[in-house]
Amino acid sequence: MATRTQSPGIGYRSGLRQKTLKQPIPCRGVGLHSGAVVSMVLRPAAADRGIRFLRTDVTDRDPWITARYDQVVDTQLCTVIGNSDGVRVGTIEHLMAALAGCEIDNAIIEIDAPEVPVMDGSSEPFVFLIDCVGTVELDAPRRAIEVRKPITVGDAARGLTLAPADAFSVDFEIDFASPVVSHSTLDVRLVNGTFRREIAKARTFGFLKDAERLRAMGLALGGSLDNTVVVDGDRVLNEEGLRFDDEFVRHKVLDCVGDLYLAGAPILGRVTATRSGHHTNNEVLRALFADPTAYAVVEMPETAYAYAEALPATA
């Protein structure tokens, strides 16, 4: 990647630093697609190491996988990353969104299975756990990927455009035949706590009519009303109902935030997405980094420096 240093000035605060976790975070849950019980530990990492997964159950191959766009090997119903030895970790998008939302630049994710636990189907449990331990600033500047020119993948019916902007924002449109999900849009600027307040709690969703077909394909084996908003015809089956009137499009934004954090740093750019999914989210990153004139790596400006109302970092 080309690197450009931005000198502090109007709208910038000098000394913005990368962050990691203050302490390890253990958690345990069920894999959405595998149905297996998964144990995972989020650990602190040094500056400039990024987010890396370590498959603790793998002993005969390289167990390390870098959480990066060019390591994505599958996008069917979730985002899966893998290394050259064929070791994989799937359903990483909700965790990646939480790490983005909590401004965690560096972490090691130890996991004993090929799928991140789905928890309640949103990013909120991961955000809660990160808040419980807090964060630490590291002695290295925080950097961002500045989009320099528009990049579009797909088309008007189903596609995504990443365009220059001074902060990260997402304008997302969904359109389903379901009368419950239907057509919905959300345009959100992800600064000053917006991710925590408006996106993190939004759960993944599915349709009861698809459940048997997916399970025959070996997918959604761990799906339940505890971790998925289930739609049957014109009603939501979850007893507690929806967390937001437009929870469906909010979850699509959550997925987009997590998938785009695979850029390796926060993005300074505006996303405009129509019926986009994991595949399109990954394709736009591949297209962006394939064009050296389309981006630059810059020091993070203060005006774009808040996915979340983070807890104060401690030295």
- CA dist 108 and 60 (Å) reads 20
Residue 251 falls in the annotated catalytic set: no
- CA dist 97 and 89 (Å) reads 15
The secondary structure of residue 36, as a DSSP letter, is -
Catalytic pick from 94, 251, 278, 279? Answer: 278
270's enclosing H/E stretch is strand 270-274
- In sequence order, the β-bridge partners of residue 141 are 17
| Neighbouring residues of 17: CB distance < 8 A, sequence distance ≥ 6 | 137, 138, 139, 140, 141, 142, 313
- CA dist 301 and 11 (Å) reads 7
Rg from Cα positions in the chain: 19
Token couple for 185: 């849009």
Closest residue by Cα to residue 168 from 62, 256, 59, 56: 256
Which residues are catalytically annotated? Answer: 278
